[in-house]
Amino acid sequence: MFSPPWLPLPPVLVIRMRRCLIVGNWKLNGDFALCEQFANIVYPINPSLDIVICPPAVLLQSLKEMIKHNSACLHIGAQEVSIETQGAFTGEISAKMLYEAGAQYGIIGHSERRQHFAETDQGVAKKMFNLLSAHISPIVCVGESKIERDNQETLSVIAAQLSPIKRMLQQHRVSCAKIVIGYEPLWAIGSDQPATPDLAQQIHRYIREYMVDLPDSEALRVIYGGSVTTDNSGLLLAMPDIDGALVGGASLNTDSFLGLLPSAL
Ligand code: PGA
């Protein structure tokens, strides 16, 4: 529509087509008492928001029970899943077991698992398949180290991590609405030095473009993780391709976690 040059342009309305997703990853922290504290929060009721708390696996079922009358926005998630589905694998927990314990989301490929537990890109893809088969939405983490970033390898590292994921999604014709990608640069995790909103936005856009030929790619949620706090979450979440946050340290305290939740979407 033509606007005469002397009239101000109408404000551009930014409509979020993907629900915002805030995930708290407790890692090797938390106990029954922390579950009770989080279960007693009054969470917003907002159809554009999903909140996921990922406690250690042994607390999943208790937390699920405690939150059952809380907001419909609130879900629980697992921090890891076995690459195996059943059998003689002492200590492992399968996707089906996590589902029965109440998990609706499952983090896989976290850099701490890749670094300390020799997780491979192919293994992450297999775990994604296991989670999807058990009706759990995978949150697949990708991200580059400081050295890789300094060597300008960020995009190639992320492409290599996403490649087997993309192949598996293509092969099984999985809708992107069922998965989440978490961009977590290693240098930003637990460092108090988050990526700037502009940098994170660039990488999120790249991830979205990389996945663009998959079914329902416009529904793919790409969330950012790495030193997200109450102070920086607003600017990060305002970026058009940042659909939420994956939060470690700030998810261990009810006040700091509540402060991350966007007040208006
Ligand atoms: P952080 O951890 O928020 O403490 O940096 C994020 C993560 O590892 O998922």
- The per-residue pLDDT for 14 is 45
Does residue 5 fall inside a structural domain? Answer: no
CATH number at residue 207: 3.20.20.70
Does residue 215 fall inside a structural domain? Answer: yes
**Identity of the amino acid at 198:** D
- Residue 164 CA to ligand 1 centre (angstroms): 24
Nearest 10 degrees: Cα torsion 108, 114, 117, 123: 60
- Residue 110 CA to ligand 1 centre (angstroms): 10
Task: Give ligand 1 pocket residues (Cβ under 6 A).
Answer: 25, 184, 189-190, 225-228, 246-250
**DSSP code of 11?**
P
Does residue 194 fall inside a structural domain? Answer: yes
- C-alpha 236/C-alpha 188 separation (Å) is 14
pLDDT in tens, 158-209: 999 999 999 999 999 999 999 999 999 999 999 999 999 999 999 999 999 9
Does residue 2 fall inside a structural domain? Answer: no
Give the pTM.
0.93
Does residue 4 fall inside a structural domain? Answer: no
Does residue 225 fall inside a structural domain? Answer: yes
Rounded alpha-carbon distances, angstroms, from residue 31 to 8, 106, 206, 246: 56, 19, 38, 20
Do residues 191 and 226 touch, judged by C-beta distance below 8 A?
Answer: yes
249 contacts: CB under 8 Å, gap ≥ 6: 190, 227, 229
Does residue 217 fall inside a structural domain? Answer: yes
Domain that holds residue 162: 11-260
Domain count, the chain: 1
- Residue 34 CA to ligand 1 centre (angstroms): 18
Does residue 83 fall inside a structural domain? Answer: yes
Q: Catalytic residue positions? A: 110, 184
